Structure 1
């Protein structure tokens, strides 16, 4: 069925600017309405069906798209990084943005974002809460260490943030009252964030044990460098692994080299860093673990391998050996470690896909 009308929406927290384009007649209709899904639906229904609606991904989320879809309206969300704009176009208004979206939709140039359901989005929010808290904790601890370093106070041991180290921190005193207050406040914040992170980790553990992604999480944890929080983050951020192939998932996560080629010349640059930033970060961190010596699975991996099916177990063992051999090959060639790790992370993404996608395909077949 061909759409008669294409509607672009420029969605903000307060209002929504809409533009409806009918290619057959060239008719254009504009309207500004409150940021209320019911008001948007009322305006969209003024046009003769079928219609197709698009708006740009952003902080307003997927509430409007879900509402319109539930009402039978074909609504998609456009990837903001894939929108076309002329280099010389320096005028940006809400009306222009709505028109660009409608025109791109009419010619089929919109790159659609997958719309998660509310349960999936809630799991994703929990994973991102954990990541944000861990980042805040690291910054808070850095501030404590920076104060001590500036005043020449050094902890005599290498291992930090243990119970012994915390007791040592509490005994540090400064003569200046303002400095002492600052130090105490930073130390208190670090302790509060550590306790907060521990509560989040307990919630992540409880959630991961009984959610739609539990089989995928268990399978991903069979790979080195991927423990519960990393596996949970990858599972909920990517969601439907069957959308990809072993090669396309690296492109989705921005782990493939950028390229500028013209004529006979071909130049590849750094990775594109497109797609999901958090999932890419998790894979980059996990990839470093495959550089460590590896001959056989450790106790954690042995226990984890017993929890999965034989096919998953065999595939995970192959992946662990393969990724370590790749690291050895890169080290023999004296390849820059950062570049080598990006290549390992790209291949690790493929191995994760090879574990997760078959499980999700099997679940769908069983459900059918």
Structure 2
């Protein structure tokens, strides 16, 4: 039995396997327990193994690659059209096997263990930031019910909580003041945790040569640089910088028909976290470009004269994404004078 291609449906405990030969005839359908997966593939001849990019897929990609197989990860949205009839694990494995054999299929870049560690730091930091934002919003809402309106500035929230906790302003009940003191302590704890994750990211940035090269681009700091290195994986999965920018959702959404092109705002596909970091960094550069005479600032100022600042920020984020791909794919250093061609 010569197996050419296998579709593996991942799960916590029960895995479904669907294999075909060189003539695309079904030669294997099997259900495996988790502890038997590695042994099963170790006894097979090397072949192509397709999996959906989901929880645990990068781990199994490393395991099966070490066993000599060629692993291809597919976004679940590209597998769904190949599911026949009702959805179940066996049909999913068959659909994965069919999708992975398509010549025009696009695959997800596999990540190394180091990249997953960097990504974990960002995910935990993102959760801490979200928890702090929720806490600040709750404090602002509670104070609003007592007639105190605080601007959307976390520094002012800290100051107001300190004044109330020290009983320097307002006439509040003892219970309410005690709760605000607890919330001030919780906010201080979240600030401490966030500062700790920021230090981890800065240490990762200093110790990674690729991050150092990316960080030379205006609008990309340690947080964005490390997040990009953790997400890109194998740069060969993108043919050019435009494909990378499209993967991040920084290109116009298109709904063209009948030979008429219709372009809208950015597609917002891909990783929202990366896209947000790039756009925020571009906005910071845009705010400091006024009065500068370098080529990049002149290009931004000319565009800003005819377009909205948010559009200019997205355009700069798109350009930065393409530069990032070029630096990583070609192993080059950033040269600011070549970032924007003169008019």
Task: Report the Cα offset of residue 155 of structure 1.
Answer: 5.0
Q: Deviations over 1:34-71 (max 9, x none)?
A: 223xx123334565x34221110111231111111111
2:203 maps to 1:206: yes
Task: Report the Cα offset of residue 100 of structure 1.
Answer: 0.5
What residue number does 2:194 align with?
Answer: 197
CA RMSD between the two structures: 3.2
Q: Judging changes above 3 Å, is the alpha-carbon distance between structure 1 residues 262 and 95 closer, same or farther for their aligned structure 2 residues?
A: same
What residue number does 2:338 align with?
Answer: none
What residue number does 1:111 align with?
Answer: 106
Task: Report the Cα offset of residue 329 of structure 1.
Answer: 3.1
Q: Judging changes above 3 Å, is the alpha-carbon distance between structure 1 residues 344 and 54 closer, same or farther for their aligned structure 2 residues?
A: same
Moved more, 231-240 or 144-153: 231-240
Q: Judging changes above 3 Å, is the alpha-carbon distance between structure 1 residues 81 and 147 closer, same or farther for their aligned structure 2 residues?
A: same
Task: Report the Cα offset of residue 179 of structure 1.
Answer: 4.2
- Partner of 1:151, secondary structure, is coil
Q: Deviations over 1:81-136 (max 9, x none)?
A: 3325169x672111111000112223435422221221221122122322222222
- Partner of 2:126, secondary structure, is helix
Aligned partners of 1:216 and 1:356 also within 8 Å:
yes
What residue number does 1:325 align with?
Answer: 298
Task: Report the Cα offset of residue 283 of structure 1.
Answer: 0.4
Q: Judging changes above 3 Å, is the alpha-carbon distance between structure 1 residues 216 and 125 closer, same or farther for their aligned structure 2 residues?
A: same
- Partner of 2:7, secondary structure, is strand
Aligned partners of 1:290 and 1:327 also within 8 Å:
no
2:319 maps to 1:347: yes
Q: Judging changes above 3 Å, is the alpha-carbon distance between structure 1 residues 72 and 148 closer, same or farther for their aligned structure 2 residues?
A: same
2:219 maps to 1:225: yes
Task: Say how many residue pairs are matched.
Answer: 330
Q: Distance in 2 between matches of 1:240 and 1:257?
A: 25
Q: Distance in 2 between matches of 1:358 and 1:96?
A: 41
Q: Distance in 2 between matches of 1:156 and 1:266?
A: 44
Q: Deviations over 1:124-149 (max 9, x none)?
A: 21223222222222222222122212
Q: Judging changes above 3 Å, is the alpha-carbon distance between structure 1 residues 207 and 85 closer, same or farther for their aligned structure 2 residues?
A: same
Q: Judging changes above 3 Å, is the alpha-carbon distance between structure 1 residues 153 and 171 closer, same or farther for their aligned structure 2 residues?
A: farther
Question: Structure 1: any 5+ residue segments left out of the alignment?
Answer: 298-316, 363-368
Q: Distance in 1 between matches of 2:206 and 2:218?
A: 20
Q: Judging changes above 3 Å, is the alpha-carbon distance between structure 1 residues 224 and 146 closer, same or farther for their aligned structure 2 residues?
A: farther
What residue number does 2:280 align with?
Answer: 285
Partner of residue 160 from structure 1, selected from 144, 155, 172? 155
What residue number does 1:54 align with?
Answer: 50
Q: Distance in 2 between matches of 1:33 and 1:156?
A: 57
- Partner of 2:216, secondary structure, is coil
2:25 maps to 1:32: no
Q: Distance in 2 between matches of 1:107 and 1:159?
A: 51
Q: Judging changes above 3 Å, is the alpha-carbon distance between structure 1 residues 158 and 75 closer, same or farther for their aligned structure 2 residues?
A: closer
Task: Report the Cα offset of residue 338 of structure 1.
Answer: 3.3
- Partner of 2:40, secondary structure, is helix
What residue number does 1:266 align with?
Answer: 261
> What TM-score, normalized by structure 2, do the two folds share?
0.82
Task: Report the Cα offset of residue 188 of structure 1.
Answer: 2.7
